[in-house]
A and B are shown apart, each in its own frame.
Chain A
Amino acid sequence: MTQPVYVGLDMGASRTKVAVIDRHGALLGHAVKKSGIDFAATAALCLDASLEQAGAGRSDIVAAVATGYGRNNVAFVTSQSKTEIGCHAKGCHYLYAEAITIIDIGGQDNKIIKLDADGRRESFKMNRKCAAGTGAFLEEMSSRLDIPLEEMNSLARQATETIRLGSYCTVFSATEVLENIRHGKPVADIIKGIFYSMIKRVLEMDSITGKVVLSGGVVAHNPYLVEMTEELIGRPVLLPPFPQLTGAHGAALYALEATGGQGDGSGEE
C-alpha cells in the first residue's frame, strides 16, 4: 500500500513543473518539461514521472491543484486552480516561514511578492507586457548569439568586464548586443552584460526589502544570476533547493490544505 499524495501542477508558458508531496508537505517527486504545444500531454508526462519518483500512482492522488498559464488545460487531473503568485508564495513560505520578498523569474514573466511572517501576501507585482528581465529575453539573446542557453552561465563567469545594455526592449537590447559584437567585445563580457541587464530589469520592478528568496527556472539554471543579485542588493539571498519547483510545490500545498491537511514541514529532509 502506497501513501496518499498531493499534487501541484505548474503549467508555465515555458516549462511544466509537477510536484508530488506527502501529507506533511514534503516533496516526494517532481518533474520538469518544456510545456510545448500540448499542455495536457506534457502535464500527463510530468505527472506520471513525478508520481513514479514518489513511488505512487494516479490512484494515490488525494487532491491536486493547477497553476500557471495552462492551469485550465489539465482538467484530467483537477479543476482546482490558484494563481502562480499564490503558489510561489505558498511554496516559498513553506520553506522559509518568515517575512520574505520573493523574486520569481519565469520564462514569460517575473514577479515580486512580499509576504508577512504568516505567509500572507502584502503585495505583488508582475512585469508589464514586456520581455525585459524574463527567461524569454535570455532565450532571445541565446538565439542571437547562437550560444546554447546552458552554456551562458559558465561563459558569464569568465567575463572580465560587464557590457552595459540600457534598453527595456528586447529588440533594442539585441541591437546593443550586435553593436558590441561589431566592436569586438568578448562574448563572455556580453553575456555577463545580458545577465546584468536582466536582473536589473527585475529588481527595478519594486523596492527590494527584507529577506529575499529567489525562485524560478532562470535562477535554477543560471546560479551566476543569484550571485549577481546578491551583489546588486548588497546582501545574501535565500535559494530554495529546487527554485523552479516552488510554484508546483505551493500548488500541491494548496491541494493538501483543501483536504484539511497542513504542510508543517515535518517530513522535509
Chain B
Amino acid sequence: MAEEKQPQRKKIQATGQMMKIMSDYFYDLNDAGQSATRKVAWCTSVGPAELLRAMGFAVHFPENHAAMLGATRMATELIPEANAIGYSPDICSYLTADIGAHLKGTSPLAKAYPGIEAPPRPDVLVYNTNQCRDVQDWFTWYAREFGVPCIGITSPKNFTDVTEILVDDVTRQIEALIPTLEEVAGENLDMQRLRETVALSRECTELWRQVLETAAATPAPLTFFDGTIHMGPAVVLRGTRQAVDYYRRLLAELEQRIAEKVAAVDGEKHRIYWEGMPVWGRLRQHSELFSELQTSVLVSTYCSSWIFPDFDANDPLRSMAKAYLALFIVRSDAYKEAYIKRMLEKFNIDGIIYHDAKTCPCNSNSRYGMPQRLEQETGIPSLVISGDLNDLRCVSDEQTRTNVEAFIEQLEERR
C-alpha cells in the first residue's frame, strides 16, 4: 500500500511584500475617498486605468472588491440582496455580490484593513465592455446610487484580429472620455504623465508575463492558485512603480525555485491548463485537491489576461486601445483556440480543465464546442466542471472532487 503523504503548500516568500503594497494601496484609496481635494475613479479591470492614473485619480476596481467578497466567502450571502432589487441570480455574481455588499453596508476591506469601512465613494465611473456587458450595468447602478457620471468604452467583440479599424474606434472612444475626466479631475491630461504611466504598465505586465512563464519549467514553481493571489498588483496597481518593483522580486524568487528545482506541487505528475474563472470561495480547497493528486494547475487564461504587450509609451492612447482590444475574453473562438494551443505546447500541458461559471458566460469557454475542437486537434483531454466565480450555491464540492479525481485517473491511464 502506498504511503499517504500530505501535500505541502509552499508559501511564496514575496507574499509579505505583496500584502504590504496591497495594504498601502487600499489605505491610499481610503484616504483619497476622504480627502476634499483628491478624486476617485472606479474602473473596470481592463478599463482605461492608465488614463485615470495619469490624471491623478485614485483608482478603485470593483472587480477586485468582488473577488475579495468571493474569496472571503461573503458573496453568497450578499448576492440575494441584489437579486431582491431585480438583479437576477443568473447574471454576473461579481455584480450582484458587490452591489449586495453596498446595500448591506459591508466589505471585506473592513475586516482586512482596520479603519477602512468600504470602498471609497466615486467621483466618476469608467468602464470598458471588453469584459462583458455586465460591467456597464454594474457601474450604471452605482452612477445612479452616487449621482456621479458613468462613462466608458463600448468594445467591439468576437473578432479574430485586432485590426486598425477596431483600434481607430477604441482610440476615439478613449479620447472621448478625456473631457469628462478633465472636468471631474479639475485638471488637464498631461500627455507626458500618461506616457510614463503607460510605460510603467508595460513594464508591470511584462514582468507579470515572465512570472507566469516560470511555470513552463518542470516542475512548475508556481500554480494557477498562486497566480490568482499574486495577480493583485497587476490588476490594481498597473501603471505604478510599486507593482513593477514587486514583480521583480517575485520573479527573482521563482527563478530561484527553478534553479533549485523547487516544485509548487510536490511530486508533480500532471500539468493542467485552467480555462475560466477561479472559484474564489474554493481557492484553498482546489489548491489542496490538486496537490493531493500530485497535479499542478500551472497556467490559465485568467491570470494571463493581465499581460498587455501592446502598451507603448510613444503612442499611449492608441496602444491602450490595442491592449484593451487584444484581451482574450473579447476575441473570437478562432483566436482563443489558437492562443490556448500555443499555451498547451509552451507549458507542456497534459489536460485542460474548463470552469463553466454559471453567472459568467464570457469567461465560460466550454459552451460553444471549444473543448471538443481542441481535444480533437491536440489530443489533449479536457474536463468541464460546473461552478461559479462567487455564488457558492452553484458549486457542488463533491461533484467537483469526483470529476477532478476521475479526470486525473484518466490522465494516469494515458501515461
Q: Give me the interface of A with B, judged by CB distance under 8 Å.
A: 69, 79-80, 82-86, 109, 120-126, 128-129
Contact = CB atoms under 8 A, between A and B. Distances in A.
A231 B222 CA distance: 51
A126 B414 contact: no
Nearest to B409: A86
Contact of B403 (A79, A121, A126): A126
B398 A69 contact: yes
Interface of B: 1, 4, 375, 381, 384, 386, 394, 396, 398-399, 402-403, 405-407, 409-410, 413-414
A83 B1 contact: no
Given A79-B4, A80-B1, A129-B386, A124 B406 contact: yes
B386 A83 contact: no
A82 B407 CA distance: 11
A82 B413 CA distance: 13
Contact of A83 (B396, B402, B414): B402
A85 B414 CA distance: 16
A192 B410 CA distance: 36
A129 B394 contact: yes
Given A129-B394, A129-B399, A120 B413 contact: yes
Chain B contact surface mostly? helix
A121 B413 contact: yes
Contacts of A125: 384
Across the A-B interface, the 10 shortest Cβ-Cβ residue pairs? A85-B406, A83-B406, A121-B410, A129-B396, A120-B413, A86-B409, A83-B405, A128-B386, A83-B402, A129-B399
A169 B402 CA distance: 23
B402 A120 contact: no
Nearest to B1: A80
A263 to B, nearest CB: 16
Contacts of B403: 126
Contacts of B375: 123
12 contacts: A80-B1, A83-B402, A84-B402, A85-B409, A86-B406, A86-B409, A120-B413, A121-B409, A122-B381, A126-B403, A128-B386, A129-B399
A121 B414 CA distance: 9
A85 B402 contact: yes
A83 B410 CA distance: 11
A86 B284 CA distance: 26
A71 to B, nearest CB: 9
A84 B394 CA distance: 22
A152 B410 CA distance: 37
Nearest to B375: A123
B80 to A, nearest CB: 18
Given A121-B409, A129-B386, 12 more contacts: A83-B405, A84-B406, A85-B406, A86-B406, A120-B410, A120-B413, A121-B406, A123-B381, A123-B410, A124-B406, A124-B410, A125-B384
A157 B398 CA distance: 36
Contacts of A69: 398, 402
Contacts of A128: 386, 399
